[in-house]
Amino acid sequence: MKVTKFGGSSLANAFQIQKVCNIVLSDEDRKVMVVSAPGKRTKDDIKVTDLLIAVAKARLAGNSYEEELKKVIGRYEEIAEELDVKQVLPDIENRLTSIAAADYTDDVKYLDSVKAMGEDCCARLVAYYLNSTGHNAKYCNPEECGLYLKHDEAGKAVILDETYDNLAKLKDEKDVLLVFPGFYGVSKEKEIITFSRGGSDITGSILAAALNAEVYENWTDVDNVFAVNPNLVKNPFPITEITYDEMRELSYAGFSVLHEEAIYPVFKNGIPLNIRNTNNPSAKGTWIVSKRTHYDSLVTGIAGDKGFCTVTVSKYMMNRQVGFLAALLKIFSDEAISIDHIPSGIDTVTIVLRKKYFTPEKEAIIVDRIKNELGCKVSVDHDLAIVMIVGEAMANSVGIMARAASALSNAGINLRIVNQGASEISMMFGVSESYCSYAVRVLYKELFRY
């Protein structure tokens, strides 16, 4: 069986919803569909989730929220009228109205419960529509199905292990198409918890893993994932196949195809993930797999991301001091700062980290501790972008680093950090933030336009 997930642009209006239903019904192995909230109908439109966030924020600020709520209800009305299923509207309207007016003393819980309604109402509407057209479909309630989540220390929603066993029971539902709302689950106390934005991808991945699906189809609005951000390069090379490891490396450097946390459940269970286009279902899409069957090119993709900084620590004869690195890293871990890379010289170590976690307060504490406890010189630089060249086929092939470095040097881009692990799956370059997009373009031209 196949688990399908449809993003907001695939459900933005009645016409798109009809397309989605046709896609699901055209393959009887597609037994589960996970839906997002209706997205933008035009470039300047507002997603239902954003409208719901505005409702919750208005209420929390003590302002009137009715106007915003009307806009949300209006979106469902428009869809239901065009699909000729107006009978579903009183139920949707009641739910939205009562959730928006519910207790809001805990603002985080209130915001989560309002936000989740975009997906919830969409799933109810789609199931109703399928039934109205003579198909056997059923809305699945995440609470009743046991999709349990909790918050970790950082407030991030994490999946409780028992969720997988609970969802596996959906296998017993025979001859019915299951319509599951994405983006949220419940705590053991039955309170709604949402994932971070784009989290319906995670719901689909959990369901595919729990049901041991043959494939997790993630339907969006592009034919393929591209080898480079299409906003940077015209008609970039399409990726037909990529491994989970390659995808992970590219996502790290800013590739935003799927929610980052959506990869793990399917990866752990070896389930292939197929990215497809709702507006062009005949395109085969991009396959994310554990093991590649073919290579279209030596390099799979190139990505760049800004927002890094470096802490460079130097001390004469550092390399002779046993335990130095451990003591240095402990200072960062005491401050709960995670480290991304550690390029080093004989008497210097550079710690590369994400700026967003390295607040000015943390920076002051860490710099002081390194100076006082380790007796080192410290300098911090806040201007670093990471550019990654990723491709499993690069392993054992000679000369890619030379080509990449000389293309960057010919373009006048200074390389501040260079890193390649022994697995040879990726090469990393650290450049000034102002050069990030330019470096990606230069590398793409060199490595893809051979």
Q: Could you tell me which residues come within 8 angstroms of residue 289 by beta carbon, excluding any fewer than 6 positions away?
A: 241, 242, 243, 244, 272, 273
Strand partners, 151: 157
State whether residue 271 is helix, strand or coil.
coil
Look up residue 193 and give its amino acid. I
Is residue 200 at the binding interface for ligand ASP, with CB under 6 A as the rule?
Answer: yes
Q: Which residue reads 């806009």 in tokens?
A: 71
Packing angle between helix 66-82 and helix 117-132, nearest 10 degrees? Answer: 20
> How many chain residues bind ligand ASP (CB under 6 A)?
13
Q: Which stretch binds ligand ASP (CB under 6 A): 160-168, 199-207, 295-303, 316-324?
A: 199-207
Q: How far is the CB of 21 from ligand ASP (least distance, A)?
A: 18
Q: Which stretch binds ligand ASP (CB under 6 A): 75-83, 194-202, 299-307, 404-412?
A: 194-202
Candidates 142, 181, 185, 199: give the one binding ligand ASP (CB under 6 A).
199
CA atoms within 13 A on the CB side of 262: 29
User: Which C-beta is closer to ligand ASP: that of 37 or that of 427?
Assistant: 37
Instruction: Give the whole-angstrom CA distance, residue 367 versus residue 382.
Output: 14
Rounded to 5 degrees, φ, ψ at 196 are: -75, 175
Q: How far is the CB of 73 from ligand ASP (least distance, A)?
A: 17
User: Which C-beta is closer to ligand ASP: that of 200 or that of 243?
Assistant: 200
User: Which C-beta is closer to ligand ASP: that of 36 or that of 229?
Assistant: 36
User: Which C-beta is closer to ligand ASP: that of 36 or that of 426?
Assistant: 36
State whether residue 89 is helix, strand or coil.
helix
Is residue 197 at the binding interface for ligand ASP, with CB under 6 A as the rule?
Answer: yes
Binding to ligand ASP in span 129-188, by CB under 6 A: 182-183
User: Which C-beta is closer to ligand ASP: that of 201 or that of 241?
Assistant: 201
User: Which C-beta is closer to ligand ASP: that of 156 or that of 171?
Assistant: 156
Instruction: Give the whole-angstrom CA distance, residue 373 versus residue 392.
Output: 42
User: Which C-beta is closer to ligand ASP: that of 159 or that of 378?
Assistant: 159
Is residue 416 at the binding interface for ligand ASP, with CB under 6 A as the rule?
Answer: no
User: Which C-beta is closer to ligand ASP: that of 200 or that of 312?
Assistant: 200
User: Which C-beta is closer to ligand ASP: that of 225 or that of 337?
Assistant: 225
Q: Which stretch binds ligand ASP (CB under 6 A): 195-203, 282-290, 305-313, 349-357?
A: 195-203
User: Tokens representing 244?
Assistant: 């989970």
Is residue 192 at the binding interface for ligand ASP, with CB under 6 A as the rule?
Answer: no
- Decide if 268 contacts 209 (C-beta within 8 A): yes
User: Which C-beta is closer to ligand ASP: that of 119 or that of 433?
Assistant: 119
User: Which C-beta is closer to ligand ASP: that of 182 or that of 391?
Assistant: 182
Candidates 49, 113, 163, 220: give the one binding ligand ASP (CB under 6 A).
49
- The kind and range of the H/E element at 64 are none
Residue 450 DSSP class: -
User: Tokens representing 343?
Assistant: 């390029």
Is residue 36 at the binding interface for ligand ASP, with CB under 6 A as the rule?
Answer: yes
CA dihedral (168, 172, 175, 178) positive or negative: negative
- Decide if 299 contacts 251 (C-beta within 8 A): no
Burial of 280 (0-12, 13-18, 19+ CB in 10 A): exposed
Site string for ligand ASP, 365-404 (x = CB under 6 A): ----------------------------------------
Is residue 75 at the binding interface for ligand ASP, with CB under 6 A as the rule?
Answer: no
Instruction: Give the whole-angstrom CA distance, residue 83 versus residue 156.
Output: 37
Candidates 31, 118, 227, 229: give the one binding ligand ASP (CB under 6 A).
118
Instruction: Give the whole-angstrom CA distance, residue 17 versus residue 270.
Output: 30
- Decide if 428 contacts 350 (C-beta within 8 A): no
Is residue 299 at the binding interface for ligand ASP, with CB under 6 A as the rule?
Answer: no
Is residue 8 at the binding interface for ligand ASP, with CB under 6 A as the rule?
Answer: yes
Instruction: Give the whole-angstrom CA distance, residue 450 versus residue 446.
Output: 7
Is residue 198 at the binding interface for ligand ASP, with CB under 6 A as the rule?
Answer: yes
Q: How far is the CB of 141 from ligand ASP (least distance, A)?
A: 17
Is residue 272 at the binding interface for ligand ASP, with CB under 6 A as the rule?
Answer: no
Q: Which stretch binds ligand ASP (CB under 6 A): 18-26, 136-144, 193-201, 379-387?
A: 193-201
Is residue 37 at the binding interface for ligand ASP, with CB under 6 A as the rule?
Answer: yes
What's the distance, CA 303 to chain centroid? 15
The total of other beta-carbon atoms located within 10 Å of residue 432's CB is 16
Is residue 332 at the binding interface for ligand ASP, with CB under 6 A as the rule?
Answer: no
Q: Could you tell me which residues come within 8 angstroms of residue 214 by beta carbon, excluding any fewer than 6 positions away?
A: 1, 2, 29, 271
User: Tokens representing 207?
Assistant: 């369901």
**Can you give the binding site for ligand ASP, defined by CB under 6 A?**
8, 36-37, 47, 49, 118, 182-183, 197-201
